[in-house]
Amino acid sequence: MANVKTKARFDEAKGKWIINGQKVWTSLAHESDYIFVIARTDPDSVAHKGLGFFLMKMDQPGIDVRPIEQITGTSEFNEVFFDDAECEASDIVGKPGDGWKVAMGLLGFERGVSTLGQQMAFQNELNDVIAAAKANDAAKDPVIRQRIAKAHEGLKIMRYNSMRTLSHDASDGALHKEALMYKLYWATWHRDLGELAMDVLGMECDVLEEAPYELTRLQSMYLFVRSDTIYGGTNQIQRNIIAERGLGMPKEPKVTIKV
C-alpha cells in the first residue's frame, strides 16, 4: 500500500483536491456513495511518507468504476479510475502527509471490534454446514464429525483471541500483537470451512459447466473463500507481519534490480 501511485494536488482556485490514479480490488465500489482513497500529496515522497487519506464522493465526473467478474459470476470487487476527480478540502482525514498514520489506525479498528460481526456470519455458515451434514447423513462419517468439531473449536478460538484484542485500549486504533495474527487465522479457517462444506455436500456440490450458474449459498461460499487468503494481504504477507512486528525477527531483505 505504501507504493501507491495515485496522486492528489490541491487546486487553489477551486479550493479542492484533484485526484488522479487507479485503485484496484475495491469492495462494493459499484454500490458505494463514498470511497476512501490514499493518494500521494507530495509528488517527491516515497513509501509511507507524503500520503493523504481522502473521503470522496463517488457520484461525480472523473470517477469510473469497472467491475471485476469473479469465479462465482458476481462482481463484488472493482477497479476504480480517477481522472481529475475532485475532493472537498474538508474531506481529507487528518493533514497532508498523515495518510499512512490514518490508514494504520483504520486497520487497527478493522482487526478489532469489527471482527465480532464477521464471526457471526461465520457461525451462520458453519450452522448451514452442520444442517447439511445432518440432512444427508454425512454427519454419520466420523471424519466429517471430527472436521466439524475442529471448525467449531477454531471459531471459538477466533472469538477468544478477538476478546483478548479488545481488552486493550483501542481508542488510538493501534494494532496490538494479538491482532496481527487475526487475518491469517480467519482466512485460513474460512478457506477450510469451504472445503468442508463441499465434502459434506458430496455429489450435490457439483457446479454446472457453463453460465449462468445457480449456486447455493454453500457453493458460493466455497468459491469466494479462495480469495480470503489473498485480499487484504496474502497469507505470506501476514506471516511476514507477524514475524517482523510481532516476534521482532529481522525484516525481509529488499532487493534492488538494476537494468
What is the SS3 assignment for 62? coil
Residues in the chain: 259
State yes or no: is 86 an active-site residue. no
- Residue 49 — φ and ψ, nearest 5°? -90, 155
Distance of CA 168 to the CA centre of its chain: 23
* Cell numbers for 94: 487528518
- Decide: residue 90, CB within 10 A, 0-12 exposed, 13-18 middle, 19+ buried: exposed
- Residue 91 — φ and ψ, nearest 5°? -95, 15
Q: Widest CA span of the chain, in angstroms?
A: 72
Which of the residues 69, 76, 79, 110 is marked catalytic?
A: 110
Output the CA–CA distances (angstroms, integers) from residue 246 to 41, 114, 115, 162, in the order listed.
31, 21, 20, 16
Which alpha helices (DSSP H) does the chain contain, by range?
99-110, 114-135, 142-166, 177-180, 182-201, 217-224, 235-241
- Residues with a catalytic annotation lie at 110
